[in-house]
A and B are shown apart, each in its own frame.
Chain A
Amino acid sequence: MKKAIEVRNLKKQYGETKAVKDISFDVEQGQLFAFLGENGAGKSTTINMLSTILPKTSGNARIMGYELGKEDDSIRKSIGIVFQNSVLDGNLSVKQNLLTRGAYYGYSQKEIMESLNSFWEEFNLEEIWNKKYDKLSGGQRRRVDISRALIHKPDILFLDEPTTGLDPMSRKMVWDYINHLRKKDNLTIFLTTHYMEETAEADNVVIMDKGSIIAEGTPAELKSRYTGKKLIWYTRECEENTRIIENLTSPRFSYEADHYNILMDEGIMEFVWKYRDFIKDFEVIKGTMDDVFLTLTGKEMVECNG
């Protein structure tokens, strides 16, 4: 598979502060690539460097084969960005916003409309076309933001926390659009998010902490590498049941509402079989990406906007 993004030893330093410390990774074309990390981990700085907004301190990167720092114009034509905070003008209509932004790429009005037509219906642009951007709902705004990022038909779409602050329904809608685009145009998506469940569909995940990459892999690989399994035993809490669990070597468990959560790396089925007369109702689940993040950074992902 061809590489959409190749990053080697990329660094960004502000005075003494090292915002991005020597990171390397690849993103293949058509992949959904998730970039995880807390605020200040260096995600946005990395996106800003790869999108030519910020100059790199050192290292190399190639975007769609174009060398960062040398072929920036070609890079800018191949990428679209949905910024964390919207960059469209609130006092302009959707039409005015999109037509002026399309012109930045040298497109005529006719060419912009042709480009918009390819997702006009899916994004339901008709109903909001003449509305002022700041009069739109959060979900509608995100639709316009994504339309703006796609106006010049880029190969890579950078999504910097695209669903932050959206209600669950709007989040689902945004993801439906993104998945639609992936299937239709084989678009490479570079996503940063702090909603762990949004990384479940990713082909590859990179986790950053304090400017460095601390883990990389598919969600399944990361889960099996950094989390164990969890046995959920639906039963009442009593001394006898607790004693059964305590027979395990170094047991880690808790009781919630109607079930025990028992963390086990291995030997689940043997344990269940051994106590089959007691364990009648149970399920086994893998660790989540939240658990991966917790294991790696010692911090839980929290919703924040910075």
Chain B
Amino acid sequence: MAKIRGIMGLTKRNMLVYLNNKGSIFFSMLTPIIILILYILFLKNSFLYSLENAASDLGNLVSSKDMDQFVNGLMLAGIISSALITIPYNALQTIVRDREERVYYDMMATPVKRAEIILSYFIAAVVTAFLQTLVVLAGGLIVLFANGDLYITALDIIRLIGVIFLGTVSATALFTLIMMFFKKMGTCSAFMGIISAVSGFVVGAYLPLSEFNKTIQNVCNLVPATGVTILIRNYLIGGVLQHMDESIGGLDNGAFAEAMRSVFTFNSKVGSSVWTLNQTCIYIIMVTVALVAAIRIIYPRVYNKV
């Protein structure tokens, strides 16, 4: 019981430090906000144009409302996916701040173990990022539902929540490992700049991944965050895509839907192999386990070299 209270106390402290820092919360949402603004300014029109072009030979079989919802869903998938990168990163900056200001001396002089200190940072980041992203998902779904039908099932929503959890854990594992190498907040903030810039592309929020050359596509597909985005995209707008396909009634033998799935990357492709959603999911879990194992090996060195 005492051990659990110790971990809970540390976790609560880490969560409070992040949640009481409004600046940190704002910066964690900066990339998703930028995606939203770019979407409103021009991305929506650009994506809609591609869709309308592809559907131009099908007459009025694909409704503009469905296309609008499909593109809105793409935007929400991009926002959620980038949030799943930037929120855990910001929440985990406490590790570096505590190191720089020697706050963790206070933890190390208590009966909590070194592994429990890292575990508490990890849990705090997962819980805050998971809850914060769920708020983004809920807000996004409310807006989309108000705009029209999304053809999303309760099972899809449960799967979305599951994927968000998986995405949070995988990003937190990656960033916990990275944070161990940072000693100064300045380095941490500079890296955040790179992450913010790159994340929008990795998750295909600014441009579909299919627009990049094969090498970049392969590299991106090996990044767990890209897999998470693909899963979110499938569960969030797979329904509306299927509805559009049904509206066409088989006249194109499913070519329109297949083209959309290919252009907007509904499946991971590494080399010539196309992964199923289950394979993508298993890959993300495997990478996450490997990252946790790496943290396990590295943290004692970090915490004994003070």
Identify the A interface with B (CB < 8 A).
48, 51-55, 73, 76-77, 79, 81, 83, 85, 87-89, 91-92, 96, 99-108, 148
Query: Once the chains bind, are A100 and B101 in contact (CB under 8 Å)?
Result: no
Scan residues 8-46 of chain B and give those whose CB is less than 8 A from a CB of chain A.
8-10, 12-13, 16-17, 20-21
Query: Once the chains bind, are B101 and A85 in contact (CB under 8 Å)?
Result: yes
Residues of A within 8 A of B111 (CB): 73, 76-77, 104-106
Query: Once the chains bind, are B109 and A101 in contact (CB under 8 Å)?
Result: no
Measured between C-beta atoms, what is the minimum distance from B136 to chain A in Å? Answer: 23
A105 and B110 in contact (CB under 8 A), knowing A55-B304, A89-B17? yes
Most A Cβ at <10 Å: residue of B6, B17, B101, B111: B111
Query: Once the chains bind, are A101 and B9 in contact (CB under 8 Å)?
Result: yes
Cα-based distance from A103 to B110 in the complex (angstroms): 10
Scan residues 184-231 of chain B and give those whose CB is less than 8 A from a CB of chain A.
none
Residues of B within 8 A of A148 (CB): 106
Residues of A within 8 A of B102 (CB): 83, 85, 87
A104 and B1 in contact (CB under 8 A), knowing A53-B105, A83-B102, A96-B16? no
Size bracket, chain B contacts = 20 to 34
Q: Which 4 A/B pairs are nearest by Cβ-Cβ distance?
A: A103-B9, A106-B2, A87-B106, A100-B13
- Confirm or deny: B115 has a beta carbon within 8 angstroms of a beta carbon on chain A: no
Query: Once the chains bind, are B106 and A83 in contact (CB under 8 Å)?
Result: yes
Residues of A within 8 A of B103 (CB): 87, 89
Q: A108 — nearest CB in chain B belongs to which residue?
A: B5
Cα-based distance from A55 to B119 in the complex (angstroms): 22
Query: Once the chains bind, are B6 and A106 in contact (CB under 8 Å)?
Result: yes
- Could you tell me the dominant secondary structure of chain B's interface residues? helix
Residues of B within 8 A of A51 (CB): 109
Residues of A within 8 A of B112 (CB): 104
- Confirm or deny: B306 has a beta carbon within 8 angstroms of a beta carbon on chain A: yes
Cα-based distance from A182 to B105 in the complex (angstroms): 25
Cα-based distance from A247 to B76 in the complex (angstroms): 95
A91 and B20 in contact (CB under 8 A), knowing A52-B108, A79-B109? yes
Query: Once the chains bind, are A107 and B105 in contact (CB under 8 Å)?
Result: no
Cα-based distance from A102 to B9 in the complex (angstroms): 8
Cα-based distance from A92 to B105 in the complex (angstroms): 18
Query: Once the chains bind, are A92 and B20 in contact (CB under 8 Å)?
Result: yes
Most B Cβ at <10 Å: residue of A76, A99, A106: A106
Cα-based distance from A105 to B4 in the complex (angstroms): 10
Identify the B interface with A (CB < 8 A).
1-3, 5-6, 8-10, 12-13, 16-17, 20-21, 101-103, 105-112, 304, 306
Count of CB-CB pairs between chains A and B under 8 Å: 82
Measured between C-beta atoms, what is the minimum distance from B298 to chain A in Å? Answer: 17
25 contacts between A and B (CB under 8 A): A48-B105, A51-B109, A52-B108, A52-B109, A53-B109, A55-B304, A77-B111, A81-B105, A83-B105, A89-B13, A92-B13, A92-B17, A96-B13, A96-B16, A101-B106, A102-B9, A103-B8, A103-B12, A104-B10, A104-B111, A105-B111, A106-B1, A106-B3, A106-B5, A106-B111
Query: Once the chains bind, are A100 and B105 in contact (CB under 8 Å)?
Result: no
Q: A100 — nearest CB in chain B belongs to which residue?
A: B13
Residues of A within 8 A of B1 (CB): 106
Q: B103 — nearest CB in chain A belongs to which residue?
A: A87
Q: A77 — nearest CB in chain B belongs to which residue?
A: B111
Query: Once the chains bind, are B16 and A100 in contact (CB under 8 Å)?
Result: yes
Measured between C-beta atoms, what is the minimum distance from B115 to chain A in Å? Answer: 14
Supply 9 further A-B pairs (C-beta < 8 A) apart from A92-B20, A148-B106.
Answer: A53-B105, A73-B111, A87-B101, A89-B20, A101-B110, A106-B1, A106-B2, A106-B111, A108-B5
Query: Once the chains bind, are B109 and A103 in contact (CB under 8 Å)?
Result: no
Most A Cβ at <10 Å: residue of B13, B102, B304: B13
Measured between C-beta atoms, what is the minimum distance from B198 to chain A in Å? Answer: 29
Residues of A within 8 A of B2 (CB): 105-106
Cα-based distance from A39 to B223 in the complex (angstroms): 47
Residues of A within 8 A of B110 (CB): 76, 101, 104-105
Cα-based distance from A106 to B111 in the complex (angstroms): 9
Residues of B within 8 A of A91 (CB): 17, 20-21
Residues of A within 8 A of B107 (CB): 104
Q: A111 — nearest CB in chain B belongs to which residue?
A: B5
Residues of A within 8 A of B17 (CB): 89, 91-92
CB within 8 A of A103: which of B5, B20, B106? B5
Measured between C-beta atoms, what is the minimum distance from B14 to chain A in Å? Answer: 9
Q: A84 — nearest CB in chain B belongs to which residue?
A: B102
Residues of A within 8 A of B101 (CB): 85, 87
Query: Once the chains bind, are B12 and A54 in contact (CB under 8 Å)?
Result: no
Cα-based distance from A87 to B101 in the complex (angstroms): 8
Residues of B within 8 A of A54 (CB): 306
Q: A81 — nearest CB in chain B belongs to which residue?
A: B109
Q: B120 — nearest CB in chain A belongs to which residue?
A: A104
Most A Cβ at <10 Å: residue of B110, B111, B112, B304: B110
Q: B24 — nearest CB in chain A belongs to which residue?
A: A91
Measured between C-beta atoms, what is the minimum distance from B149 to chain A in Å? Answer: 44
Measured between C-beta atoms, what is the minimum distance from A181 to chain B in Å? Answer: 19
Query: Once the chains bind, are B108 and A103 in contact (CB under 8 Å)?
Result: no
Q: B94 — nearest CB in chain A belongs to which residue?
A: A89
Cα-based distance from A96 to B110 in the complex (angstroms): 17
Cα-based distance from A101 to B109 in the complex (angstroms): 11
Measured between C-beta atoms, what is the minimum distance from B228 to chain A in Å? Answer: 31
Residues of B within 8 A of A102 (CB): 9
Query: Once the chains bind, are B306 and A100 in contact (CB under 8 Å)?
Result: no
